[in-house]
């Protein structure tokens, strides 16, 4: 009988760019717009100009340069034009306009050989911005904080984009050197040391990448080839050419970028920014192709990788399997949960919050990740979204704060500065007991009240003026007529840094205790994680209940979450299952978290011990809930 051999993909290697090889470097450049290509080394043993050969009719140039080595600086010369940075540069030590530097992708001494990656269902994501996560704003300065995040209960950090952007400060979505690690953060070695350190303490690392556009300053791709198209437009810049003439090489450029983060930097997952701005009408969508190749690359390395999309389309096709005509992605952001929580707790109704604000929206968000699943959206003036029925809840990432929802406010206010402490604690409980994958935004766990503002460091004054004007106009649409902090002012950036010293002080320490306790319960009790329990959502006048029961009766105790999302005390009737006692395990109103401690420590919700059904006419047990509070009950044995 013949045996079936399972083929293991060969380990992926980046072909484009400049890579050390033997006693020199290999060079490959795709530049169909050029008739001639040279590489100029400014330092090292190959200093000077070297001609590259055109190796095919598609515009590829290649060559081997003896004597060049890692650390040498170089630029590319197309025809007789001024030298330009390499579009596949791994490092831009002097910024987006300067020379590229040769990097040896195999030189780093990794210590994470036993690390295999993270699973969606186990994720508790902590989103951070390297530049504002510490006072120094570097990978090296962030490393000592990783153990704090692990002890908090986080399982993976998600880094906002670190592809080379202009200047020293930026959110990262204006990046132009997709393969180069931001020099002001610590460059390639800094990122590798950060990832290696994260793995050593048991944290995964997800990286935010931008494949819908490039930033306006330092973007030299047009000189090389048709990387962009005018067929489509995005709100942030020109769209990549994914389905027009010569698009195959552009797709390769972007997919290889994803693979190089996985193979060369041991990244555990990619968060793809705003995929609704990725326009591709090919028979096989770029997102499907990228996801498939990313998994194959990780498999060849003996690891797993997660590809997660940000999308405002409310379309489950992104995460449905390829066999079901989906794109097969591991997960996607579901912003409706944030909008439902935020609008209800703050009372805001401007912009897209006009579609939210009632208790019914939050109830729907607890049942389904998409509140708008084909329902009519008044904000859009049309039906929006599609049902996610049948899709595991671990495929959806939710948040009550993230860089978008905080930083895209005129003054960058965090939730804890918009609402009182009780509502802030309620938001934490809603997030960490929701049936989805939770994402925390840096500092949220201790109630950081420094803003997270939009900041830039462009060198072009006309571009700076355009950014200022664009921000003001954007906020006018939301009806925010307050002063918009100058994004180019260094003070705007400095105000956005989080303050780690607050974690041990007063109300901040109490908030941190709440997050630690909620995450500990989530870690210890499987039924509090996605897809582990049967869910039953109830609601009434300002309150919601979420009952989690085991899929196999008797395997584990049930959990009951009660939320009062109103400004008055609520008497919540509890439709609990068969005769058991229920013990209060956590209340956001507890004194240790900064509350008034009005919910009793022990509450027995007794049912008739002889029957699984309540006797006819018997009243339902009642839980008295203070305004803006949550309580978690565990079924007692």
Domains of the chain by residue range = 17-101, 123-149+179-212+254-497, 520-635
Does the domain at 17-101 match CATH 2.60.40.10? Answer given as: yes
Is there a catalytic annotation at residue 248? no
Within a 10 A sphere around the Cβ of 521, how many other Cβ atoms? 18
pLDDT value for 552? 82
For 363, residues 6+ apart whose C-beta sits below 8 A from its C-beta are 537, 539, 544
pLDDT value for 134? 98
CATH architecture of 520-635: Sandwich (2.60)
What Rg, from alpha-carbon coordinates, does the chain have?
26
Q: Do domains 123-149+179-212+254-497 and 520-635 have the same CATH topology?
A: no
Write the CATH number of the domain with boundaries 123-149+179-212+254-497. 3.20.20.80
pLDDT value for 602? 40
For 423, residues 6+ apart whose C-beta sits below 8 A from its C-beta are 345, 628
The reported pTM is 0.95
For 97, residues 6+ apart whose C-beta sits below 8 A from its C-beta are 85, 218, 459
- Residue 449 φ/ψ, nearest 5 degrees: -110, 0
Catalytic residue, chosen from 101, 289, 310, 348, is: 310
For 113, residues 6+ apart whose C-beta sits below 8 A from its C-beta are none
pLDDT value for 621? 78
pLDDT value for 480? 59
Mean pLDDT by 10 residues, the chain (637 residues): 39 95 97 97 98 96 98 97 98 98 97 96 98 98 98 98 98 97 98 98 98 96 97 94 96 98 98 98 97 96 97 98 96 98 96 96 98 97 96 98 95 97 98 98 98 95 88 70 85 98 97 98 95 95 95 84 96 74 92 88 41 48 92 88
Q: Are 558 and 583 in contact (CB under 8 A)?
A: no
Q: How far apart are CA 426 and CA 313, in angstroms?
A: 28
Within a 10 A sphere around the Cβ of 616, how many other Cβ atoms? 5
Is there a catalytic annotation at residue 273? yes
Q: How far apart are CA 437 and CA 328, in angstroms?
A: 18
Give the three-state DSSP class for 262. Answer: helix
pLDDT value for 580? 67
Q: How far apart are CA 194 and CA 581, in angstroms?
A: 47
pLDDT value for 599? 79
Catalytic residue, chosen from 273, 289, 373, 517, is: 273
The crossing angle, in degrees rounded to 10, of helices 359-367 and 335-346 is 150
Output the CA–CA distances (angstroms, integers) from residue 249 to 118, 215, 242, 289, 300, in the order listed: 31, 20, 9, 13, 23
Output the CA–CA distances (angstroms, integers) from residue 359 to 286, 409, 415, 515, 545, in the order listed: 38, 24, 18, 24, 12
- The per-residue b/e assignment along 365-382, b for 16 or more CB within 10 angstroms, e otherwise, is bbebbbbbbeeebeeeee
């Amino acid at each position: 009988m013949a045996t079936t051999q399972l083929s293991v993909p060969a380990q992926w290697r980046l072909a484009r760019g400049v890579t050390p090889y033997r006693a020199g470097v290999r060079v490959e450049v795709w530049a169909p717009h050029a008739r001639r290509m040279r590489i100029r080394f400014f330092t090292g043993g190959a200093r000077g100009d070297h001609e590259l050969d055109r190796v095919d009719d598609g515009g590829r140039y290649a060559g081997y340069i003896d004597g060049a080595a890692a650390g040498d600086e170089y630029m590319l010369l197309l025809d007789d034009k001024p030298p330009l940075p390499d579009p596949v540069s791994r490092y831009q030590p002097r910024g987006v306009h300067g020379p590229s530097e040769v990097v040896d992708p195999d030189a780093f001494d990794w210590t994470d050989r036993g690390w295999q990656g993270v699973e969606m269902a186990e994720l508790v994501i902590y989103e951070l911005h390297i530049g504002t996560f510490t006072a120094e704003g570097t990978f090296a300065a962030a490393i000592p904080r990783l153990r704090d995040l692990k002890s908090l209960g986080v399982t993976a950090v998600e880094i906002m984009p670190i592809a080379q952007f202009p200047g020293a400060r930026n959110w990262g979505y204006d990046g132009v050197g997709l393969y180069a690690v931001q020099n002001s953060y610590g460059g390639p070695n800094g990122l590798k040391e950060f990832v290696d350190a994260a793995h050593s303490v048991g944290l995964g690392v997800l990286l935010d990448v931008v494949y819908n556009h490039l930033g306006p300053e330092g973007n030299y791709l047009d000189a090389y080839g048709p990387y962009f198209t005018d067929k489509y437009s995005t709100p942030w810049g020109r769209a990549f050419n994914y389905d027009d003439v010569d698009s195959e090489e552009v797709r390769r450029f972007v997919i290889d970028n994803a693979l190089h983060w996985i193979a060369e930097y041991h990244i555990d997952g990619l968060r793809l920014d705003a995929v609704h701005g990725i326009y591709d009408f090919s028979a096989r969508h770029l997102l499907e192709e990228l996801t498939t190749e990313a998994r194959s690359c990780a498999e060849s390395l003996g690891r797993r990788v997660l590809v997660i999309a940000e999308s405002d389309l409310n379309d489950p096709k992104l995460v449905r399997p390829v066999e079901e005509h989906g794109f097969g992605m591991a997960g996607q952001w579901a912003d409706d949960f944030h909008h439902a929580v935020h609008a209800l707790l703050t009372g805001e109704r401007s912009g897209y919050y006009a579609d939210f604000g009632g208790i019914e929206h939050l109830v729907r968000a607890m049942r389904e990740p998409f509140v708008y699943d084909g329902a009519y959206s008044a904000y859009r003036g049309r039906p929006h979204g599609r049902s996610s029925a049948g899709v595991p809840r671990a495929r959806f990432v939710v948040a009550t704060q993230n860089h978008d929802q905080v930083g895209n406010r005129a003054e960058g206010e965090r939730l804890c500065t918009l609402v009182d402490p009780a509502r802030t604690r309620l938001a934490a409980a809603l997030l960490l007991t929701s049936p989805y994958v939770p994402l925390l935004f840096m500092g949220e766990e201790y109630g950081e009240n420094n803003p997270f503002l939009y900041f830039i460091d462009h060198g072009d004054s006309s571009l700076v003026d355009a950014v200022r004007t664009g921000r003001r106009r954007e906020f006018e649409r939301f009806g925010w007529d307050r002063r918009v902090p100058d994004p180019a002012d260094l003070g705007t950036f400095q105000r956005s840094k989080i303050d780690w010293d607050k974690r041990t002080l007063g109300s901040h320490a109490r908030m941190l205790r709440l997050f630690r306790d909620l995450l500990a319960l989530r870690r210890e009790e499987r039924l509090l994680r996605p897809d582990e329990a049967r869910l039953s959502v109830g609601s009434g006048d300002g309150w919601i209940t979420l009952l989690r029961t085991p899929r196999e009766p008797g395997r584990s105790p049930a959990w009951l979450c009660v939320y009062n999302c109103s400004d008055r005390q609520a008497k919540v009737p509890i439709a609990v299952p068969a005769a058991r006692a229920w013990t209060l395990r956590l209340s956001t109103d507890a004194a240790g978290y900064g509350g008034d401690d009005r919910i009793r420590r022990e509450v027995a919700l007794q049912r008739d011990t002889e029957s699984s059904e309540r006797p006819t006419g018997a009243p339902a047990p009642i839980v008295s809930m203070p305004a803006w509070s949550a309580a978690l009950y565990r079924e007692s044995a």
